[in-house]
Amino acid sequence: MKTYLYKVESVDSGKRLDIYLLEQIGDLSRRKIRSIIDVGGVYVNKKRVRVASRAVTVGDSIRVEYNETALKKVKTESFEFRENDLLFNAYGTFAVNKPPGLPSQATKDQSIMHVVPLLEKYLKSKQIRHKQLILVHRLDKETSGLILVAEGSKQATWLTDQFRERKVKKTYLAVCHGLPSWTKMTEKSALSEIDKKSGQVRAVRSGGRSALTQFRVVAVNEATRVSLIECSPETGRSHQIRVHLEINGHPIVGDKRYGSQAHKSELPQNLLAMTGYHHFLHAAKLEFQPEVGAKPVHLAALFPEKMQLFIAEVFPKFDL
């Protein structure tokens, strides 16, 4: 990992970020600098910046971090947004159907792309003009479904405020192990931060953040002991739905962090073969107000292929 640290002087104030870095680093091309910015390797005043045209200001502290090997093999071929993945484009807001396995935001592995640069790539291919793109909220890497991206900080603030004030209605569908004894359930508990070693979140008695999720059983298959559960989180804690289902004895099928081997062994081999790709949690619906005075927008996203095949096999009467 290479790291560069700079402090912007008055003579450079007002320059584009990519031009400034090109002049400072010297041994990197402008194209490579743009790639580093795209994958989230540039920080201005400790905040990640992905806009190459952003002007630097005197006194700015700039940190550049990149892995030369990773940068050469940026993995874009596996994740490409297609026309039917862009579900909304209006009011300075884009909604996309994120595939499982694609991170919402930049990770430490700079060879892995994420939502914003892939959306930028798609918009460019379709000659769709846009302002700076800002991720509004996140989904876990293996969770698929609806995710919002705003154009510019003003629209990002408007949408983020709605999430914070719990005005956005989020509906997920999860394929879970076991047959719930309830039709509807509310789970409220305090959740820890993500443990750096295990990568897990736990329900705790003290010191956590309050999390609330409403659950409703949509369908069950008694033969395979698998259930389809609608999940409506009223808060947005990390791994919230996954933890709430696990502590109630119904971990999500395919979840590698939550649930036991005993649950997995209950599945027939033909179904088990479908679950090794990603866990079956999908952000299926989203309702939000795109701007002041506008009518609410209702969006729905199709299941990813493996989850769709599993549901069709186990819950044939469910309307996909």
Q: Which CATH number characterizes residue 15's domain?
A: 3.10.290.10
Q: Would you call 158 exposed, middle or buried from its count of C-beta atoms within 10 A (0-12, 13-18, 19+)?
A: buried
Same domain, yes or no, for 6 and 46?
Answer: yes
Between CA 273 and CA 309 the distance in angstroms is: 11
Is residue 269 a part of any domain in this protein?
A: yes
Same domain, yes or no, for 103 and 237?
Answer: no
Helix, strand or coil, per DSSP, at residue 279: coil
Residues 208-262: tens digit of each pLDDT = 999 999 999 999 999 999 999 999 999 999 999 999 999 999 999 999 899 766 6
CATH number of the domain enclosing 155: 3.30.2350.10
Cα 136 to chain centroid, rounded: 10
Q: What angle do CA 282, 301, 214 make, to 5 degrees?
A: 45
Taking the model in full, what pTM does it have? 0.77
Last residue of a domain, one of 133, 164, 195: 164
CB-hemisphere CA count at 13 Å for 178? 15
Same domain, yes or no, for 174 and 309?
Answer: yes
Distances, alpha carbon 184 to alpha carbons 47, 173, 229, in Å: 42, 14, 9
Distances, alpha carbon 96 to alpha carbons 86, 134, 155, 300, in Å: 5, 13, 16, 10
Residues 25-51: tens digit of each pLDDT = 877 878 788 888 877 789 999 888 878
Number of domains in the chain: 3
Inform me whether the pLDDT recorded for 17 exceeds 70: yes
Is residue 320 a part of any domain in this protein?
A: no
CB within 8 A of 124, min separation 6: which ones?
Answer: none
Is residue 78 a part of any domain in this protein?
A: no
Residues 300-320: tens digit of each pLDDT = 999 999 999 999 999 998 886
> Cα torsion for 296, 184, 209, 149, to the nearest 10°?
-30
Same domain, yes or no, for 45 and 8?
Answer: yes
Last residue of a domain, one of 110, 139, 164: 164
Q: What is the pLDDT of residue 76?
A: 47
Is residue 239 a part of any domain in this protein?
A: yes
Is residue 36 a part of any domain in this protein?
A: yes
Is residue 191 a part of any domain in this protein?
A: yes
Helix, strand or coil, per DSSP, at residue 216: strand
Is residue 48 a part of any domain in this protein?
A: yes
**Of the candidates 154, 83, 93, the residue with the CA atom closest to the CA atom of residue 123:** 83
Same domain, yes or no, for 65 and 33?
Answer: yes
Domain interval for residue 44: 2-72
Residues 55-99: tens digit of each pLDDT = 999 999 999 988 776 665 555 446 789 899 999 999 999 999 999
- pLDDT higher at 193 or 2: 193
Same domain, yes or no, for 221 and 106?
Answer: no
Same domain, yes or no, for 268 and 187?
Answer: yes
Q: Would you call 95 exposed, middle or buried from its count of C-beta atoms within 10 A (0-12, 13-18, 19+)?
A: buried
DSSP 83: G
**The token pair that represents 198 in the structure block:** 């295990």
Same domain, yes or no, for 151 and 277?
Answer: no
Same domain, yes or no, for 139 and 19?
Answer: no
Inform me whether the pLDDT recorded for 274 exceeds 80: no
Is residue 10 a part of any domain in this protein?
A: yes
Between CA 295 and CA 288 the distance in angstroms is: 9
Last residue of a domain, one of 164, 181, 201: 164
DSSP 85: G
Same domain, yes or no, for 174 and 308?
Answer: yes
Catalytic site positions: 140
Same domain, yes or no, for 51 and 65?
Answer: yes
Residues 162-211: tens digit of each pLDDT = 999 999 999 999 999 999 999 999 999 999 999 988 889 999 988 899 99
Residues 103-150: tens digit of each pLDDT = 998 776 665 678 998 999 899 899 998 888 999 999 999 999 999 999
Same domain, yes or no, for 185 and 280?
Answer: yes
CB within 8 A of 64, min separation 6: which ones?
Answer: 2, 3, 4, 5, 6, 21, 25, 36, 41, 42, 43
